Amino acid sequence: MGKVVIEQMGFSYPGKPKLFEGLDLTLASGQVVGLLGKNGAGKSSFLQILAGLLFPNDGQLSVFGYIPEQRSPAFLQEVFFVPDENFLPEHLSAQAYQLILQPFYPRFDRETFTRLLDRFEVNSQEKIKNLSFGQQKKVGLAMALSSGCALILLDEPTNGLDISSKSAFRKELISVLSEDQTVVIATHLIRDLENTLDRVMILDQGQIKLDADLSDLADSLHFGFSQSEVSDAIFSQSSALGVQFIQERTTQAQTVVNLELLFEGVTAGVPIASFLSKTNSLTV
């Protein structure tokens, strides 16, 4: 489908300080990307800009060659946005809304939608207003994963889900997506996404402070735990149980990327990108 390209983008709400300034980013297809940031960092706003619901003040933004704020039909049929709050019409059932929505998305897979509702244990005949917040969230996620859209934007998708539902979502996300789809997930619930992401972006102070593939992070960094401080640690964090740390990887065995520790390091100002084995130009 092409790329998402952002060049020197700036954005602010009226009368507010700049939320983003000079932001550059390129997203190619075929990845699940985690957008991590503190509350108020602009994660939700970023997704809404990609969806064409908010408009940049400065710079250029192109999604598959379309300008999102123009909201052209060709653009809209390739982007599915699931906000954190409920966006579904409460007077309809999930099945009834699916019948209305399906014609707008040429590659919508009705069988996948039905299977996902079963997997998520949601009654497709029940009116949405009678569903819990978590069940409403699962209906939205089922629609997104069934849409066939080239770009799927999910804002806090695991918020309101119980443990089993979070596990089901992670498994279905991996199994349903095709190579020409890109998913951007904005979240502060970092542990919910472990073993799901291909790429992580950390948004802080109006900039993307780190943009890296998880494979590159695992190749370049060693994540460990010790009872005492580690002298050559890039970043460390103490707790009652000991010290979690990040080292530059040399001869150590490869470890799983600790996303929470990575996030804490980046937002504390540690230049993690400078330790990566591959040049990170914010372009994939």
Segment of 95-99, 190-194, 203-207 carrying the highest mean pLDDT: 95-99
229 close to 236: Cβ distance less than 8 angstroms: yes
CATH 3.40.50.300, domain 4-197, yes or no:
yes
Q: Using CA atoms, how far apart are residues 228 and 249, in angstroms rounded to an integer?
A: 19
pLDDT tens for each residue of 211-246: 999 999 999 999 999 999 888 999 999 988 899 999
Write the DSSP symbol of residue 69. G
Give the separation between CA 190 and CA 89, rounded to whole angstroms.
29
Quote the strand ranges of 98-206, DSSP E: 151-155, 182-187, 199-204
CA 148, CA 180: separation in Å to the nearest integer? Answer: 10
Given the structure tokens 């960094």, which residue do they identify?
Answer: 221
CA separation (Å) from 73 to 52, 66, 164, 172? 12, 10, 37, 28
Contact 227, 240 (CB under 8 A): no
- Structural tokens at position 199: 């790429």
- pLDDT band of residue 193 (cuts 50, 70, 90) is confident
Domain boundary assignment for the chain: 4-197, 214-275
Contact assessment for residue 246 and residue 236, using Cβ atoms and an 8 Å cutoff: yes
Q: What is the reported pTM? A: 0.92
Model pLDDT for residues 72-82, shown as the tens digit of each residue: 999 999 999 99
120: nearest Cα among 136, 107, 105:
136
Between β-strands 221-226 and 235-239, what pairing exists: parallel, antiparallel or unpaired?
A: unpaired
Q: Over range 103-126, report the average pLDDT.
A: 95
Q: Which is it for the CA torsion 120, 190, 152, 132, positive or negative?
A: positive
Residue whose token pair is 């190579």? 179
By mean pLDDT, which of 135-139, 157-161, 191-195 is the weakest? Answer: 191-195
